[in-house]
Amino acid sequence: MADMHALVRLMREVEDQLASCMRCGMCQSVCPLYAATGREADVARGKLALLDGLLREMFDRPDSVRERLDRCLLCGSCQAGCPSGVRVMDIFIKARAILAGFSGLSFSQKMIFKGMLAHPALFDQLTFWSSRFQKLLTRPINEMLGTSCARVMSPLIGDRHFKPLADRPFHHEVPFLDTPAGRSGRKVAFFVGCLLDKIFPKVAGDVVTVLEKAGVGQLIPQGQACCGIPALSAGDTQTFQKLLRHNLERFPVDDFDYLVTACATCTSTIRKLWPLMAEKEDTSTRRRVARIAEKTLDISQFLVDEHLLTDVPSVGRASKPTEVTYHDPCHLKKSLGVSAQPRTVLNAIEGIRFVEMEGADQCCGMGGSFNIKYYEISREIGERKRKAIQASRCSVVATSCPACMMQISDVLSRGGDPIRVRHVVELLAERWKDNDNYPSAH
């Protein structure tokens, strides 16, 4: 382990940003973790104070600060509401990287990130074969939500109700696509992301359908990799940089007008964290990353902002509308300020009556690896979301992030609630598919 002085030198990178926190405590009122635990060390102010203490060499055990920093959903609620504009997420991400570089990754983190995620082809193979064998260890539990649970006690899965790996990942269905701009005159690259590819391939297929119907040309490059957020959240910047370079090679930025995703987490990572972490790359790489980030949009945002929803077919006769509510993924609303467009899409679909739920933008408690490390707290936060969904009295809850879909499916499935969890784009694609009069692609 390097010495404390070396760590403090590295921490100087975030010193100026730390100084902008005026300790007002406003972040307490919005932090889902603080609401669950009531501990000052869990809220942004407390974590920033710990990092400040580390800088001043007040602690001789940086690992305990690292543990505190890991107890965070990286939901960005604190940053979105901070009156001093403290870039809390940038500080946390950089500090996690510095601390992980200082004390090293655990054995399991090395296995997962350096051994698997950093090698996209191997990762694809491993998840594919896991999907073949998962039925031995798991059993279906809720047909409506499509969840499963462990057959026997599993230390990793616990008693979660989870969405299993799909039999066929999306990249087996559509390994490559390159179509010219249709009547919209636009061409987009589709960044699929791991969860859509391996757990929700239907949603990825629905993105393709919707873009086709909207007359949008598509580029789906072969061999695209994870956006890198799981590795970066754990502080593994090496794996993150490797995945960033891998993806940059596959998405030639001059070949498309926009890069779209249907995953709020991927969108936010590409828009915000790719440029943040490319700061030390050469000029040409930095420029490419900045241009891709500027072009990256959530699928609903793309469809609405580019006025491509005018052709959504109606059902014709008024049938009983389905009542649908919407959960705002933190990475979409708090990180990117995108909340109106998914609602516009839902409101454009005839046959749906949109109902706003109380606290639609409150975190669902997923938080990526937070859900694995701190499942009980994650579940408690998720329970609050479940109550809000129940109170909306809707039969469907829509959202724009596959990670939120997994968390919400878990809490609803455990509670036995007859409420479906859908991606906004699924509902739109279904309306387009159901109607023979949809517009032609060209």
Using CB under 6 A as the criterion, which residues of the chain lie in contact with ligand SF4 when the complex forms? 21-27, 30-33, 43-45, 48, 72-78, 82, 84, 86, 88
Least distance from C-beta 264 to ligand SF4, angstroms?
A: 15
Residue number, 18 or 253, with CB nearest to ligand SF4: 18
Q: Which is nearer to ligand SF4, 74 or 412 (CB)?
A: 74
Beta bridge partners of 219: 178, 189
Q: Which is nearer to ligand SF4, 31 or 270 (CB)?
A: 31
Residue 97 or 424: the one with the smaller Cβ distance to ligand SF4 is 97
Please report how close the Cβ of residue 410 comes to ligand SF4 at its closest, in angstroms: 18
Nearer to ligand SF4, 89 or 388 (CB): 89
What is the Rg, in whole angstroms, of the alpha carbon atoms belonging to the chain?
Answer: 22
Shortest distance, position 45 Cβ to ligand SF4, whole Å: 4
Tokens representing residue 376 in the block = 């009980």
Burial of 48 (0-12, 13-18, 19+ CB in 10 A): buried
Q: How far apart are CB 69 and ligand SF4 at their closest, in Å?
A: 9
- 3-class SS of residue 399: strand
d(CA 55, CA 117): 32
Question: What is the closest distance, in whole angstroms, from the C-beta atom of residue 75 to ligand SF4 in the complex?
Answer: 4
Q: At its nearest, how many Å lie between ligand SF4 and the CB of residue 98?
A: 18
User: 196-199 long-range contacts, Cβ below 8 Å, gap at least 24?
Assistant: 196/170, 196/262, 196/263, 196/402, 197/169, 197/170, 197/171, 198/127, 198/131, 198/165, 198/166, 198/169, 198/170, 199/163, 199/164, 199/165, 199/166, 199/402, 199/406
Cβ proximity to ligand SF4: between 42 and 426 the closer is: 42
What is the DSSP pairing of strand 147-150 with strand 138-142? antiparallel
Name the residue nearer to ligand SF4 (CB basis): 199 or 338: 338
**Cα-Cα-Cα-Cα dihedral sign, residues 197, 201, 203, 209:** positive
Nearest to 195 by CA among 233, 163, 223: 163
CB of 84 to ligand SF4, least distance (A): 4
> Tell me, what DSSP letter sits at residue 54?
H
Q: How far apart are CA 171 and CA 189, in angstroms?
A: 14
